[in-house]
């Protein structure tokens, strides 16, 4: 039996363990291996201990508690930290789902939905009538939120908490732009050009506001119509060896900028 309950300070170590394990699983191939390997249960436990000691913060943290295995998932919420563009101005109070993670062995059992329901109930109790969340554009778990009715057009696909956790672990942060694409051959009805430009503009502004380095692949790889330049991709979406050759010096400069003198 697994119950959803509000977290207590004694859950900090278990939440930290789930946090690290799920990051290392969910973001493998999306984030540098060195960053994922460098995540520390101890540092995360200290961070969650401090947060859960604050009643105002702790009221927005919930766990999925298995009677045999203990905490196997968690989520947190509160007032929005960076209000996105695209809201219509009629919102009374905007909340944010900060985190939502379930251990891989316990996924596809409805725990994510149950945790999200608890977070939404808390946000409603706090007077929020709108909720946003942020995630990596390439994170496959976006389909979970889209399946619940989330709209990628208004839920901007980057996770500010990723930058916070990286900085807590002494890691310099570089965010790369989405590479250009005029169309997706497997989804002919999708027209991604303006959406990609919009997301890259938001990402650049986010990096500027939060002291992160913005790695701009897009400007060097796109033509005037927003398509990938000829020769850089075989399908107009995924870079070829020539495409990666063009990207490499851009990445090297961004990393050097992040590391500083």
DSSP per residue, 191-234:
--HHHHHHHHHHHHHHHHHHTPEEE--HHHHB-TTSPBPTTSBS
CATH no. of 172-261? 3.40.50.1110
CB neighbour list of residue 108: distance below 8 Å, 6 or more residues apart? none
Q: How many helices (H) and strands (E) does the chain have?
A: 10, 7
Q: What is the pLDDT along the chain (261 residues), one digit of tens a residue?
A: 999 999 999 999 999 999 998 888 777 766 677 777 778 889 999 999 999 999 999 999 999 999 999 999 999 999 988 776 666 666 678 888 898 899 988 988 889 889 988 998 898 888 887 778 776 555 555 444 444 444 444 444 344 556 666 776 677 888 888 899 898 787 677 788 887 888 788 888 888 888 889 999 999 999 999 999 999 998 888 899 999 999 999 999 999 999 887
| pTM of the entire predicted model | 0.56
| Exposed / middle / buried, residue 101 (Cβ in 10 Å: 0-12, 13-18, 19+) | buried
Q: With contact defined as beta carbons under 8 Å apart, do 218 and 196 qualify? A: yes
| Exposed / middle / buried, residue 84 (Cβ in 10 Å: 0-12, 13-18, 19+) | middle
Q: How is the chain split among helix, strand and coil, in percent rounded to 5?
A: 45, 20, 40
Q: For the chain, give every domain's residue range.
A: 1-160, 172-261
Superfamily, domain 1-160: Gcn5-related N-acetyltransferase (GNAT) (3.40.630.30)
């Amino acid at each position: 039996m697994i119950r959803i309950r509000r977290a207590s300070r004694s859950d900090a170590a278990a939440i930290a363990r789930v946090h690290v394990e799920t990051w290392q699983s969910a973001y493998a191939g999306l984030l540098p291996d060195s960053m994922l390997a460098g995540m520390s249960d101890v540092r995360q436990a200290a961070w969650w201990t401090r947060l859960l000691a604050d009643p105002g913060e702790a009221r927005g943290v919930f766990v999925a508690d298995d009677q045999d295995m203990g905490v196997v998932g968690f989520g947190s919420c509160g007032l929005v930290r960076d209000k996105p563009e695209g809201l219509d101005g009629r919102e009374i109070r905007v909340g944010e789902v900060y985190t939502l993670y379930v251990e891989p062995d316990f996924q596809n059992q409805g725990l994510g939905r149950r945790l999200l329901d608890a977070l939404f109930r808390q946000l409603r109790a706090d007077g929020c009538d709108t909720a946003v969340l942020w995630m990596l554009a390439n994170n496959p778990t976006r389909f979970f939120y889209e399946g619940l009715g989330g709209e990628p057009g208004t839920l901007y696909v980057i996770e500010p908490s990723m930058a916070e956790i990286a900085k807590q672990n002494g890691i310099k942060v570089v965010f790369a732009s989405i590479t250009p694409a005029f169309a997706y051959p497997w989804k002919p009805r999708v027209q991604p050009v303006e959406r990609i430009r919009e997301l890259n503009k938001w990402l650049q502004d986010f990096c500027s506001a939060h002291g992160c380095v913005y790695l701009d692949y897009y400007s060097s790889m796109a033509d005037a119509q927003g398509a990938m330049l000829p020769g850089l991709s075989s399908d107009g979406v995924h870079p070829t060896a020539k495409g990666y050759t063009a990207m490499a010096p851009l990445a090297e400069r961004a990393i050097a900028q992040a590391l500083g003198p």
